[in-house]
């Protein structure tokens, strides 16, 4: 559960997940939209991927909350902000 919670333990990661819940995006488009520097974005994306919140396929980032009750509750909270 700590790994799942760590995924959304920073405002920038919450913003990434919220944005990807709206629509899948390419990395550059997401970084530009959220105005997050490249190195910082890489750091946050690594945490989100490791914790199961996002996936990257063929250059497209998508939201993919982990299949766990805690993740479902956190995803609802992130969507409500």
Give the tens place of pLDDT for each residue, 20-78: 999 999 999 999 999 999 999 999 999 999 999 999 999 999 998 888 888 888 888 77
pLDDT at 81: 65
34: its two tokens: 């959220």
Strands of the sheet with 60-63, listed across from one edge: 25-26, 60-63, 54-57
Please tell me the pTM assigned to this model: 0.88
67: its two tokens: 């299949």
CB of 20 closer than 8 Å to CB of 54 = yes
Helix, strand, or coil (residue 44): helix
Burial class (CB in 10 A: 0-12, 13-18, 19+), 81: exposed
- 2-80: what fold? Arc Repressor Mutant, subunit A (1.10.10)
Does the structure show a pLDDT above 80 at 10?
Answer: yes
């Amino acid at each position: 559960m700590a790994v799942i919670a760590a995924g959304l333990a920073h405002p920038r990661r919450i913003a990434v997940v919220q944005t990807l819940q709206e629509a899948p995006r390419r990395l550059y488009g997401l970084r530009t939209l959220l105005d997050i520097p490249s190195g910082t974005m890489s750091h946050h994306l690594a945490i989100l991927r490791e914790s199961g919140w996002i996936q990257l396929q063929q250059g497209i980032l998508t939201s993919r909350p982990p299949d766990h009750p805690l993740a479902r509750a956190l995803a609802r909270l992130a969507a409500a902000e």
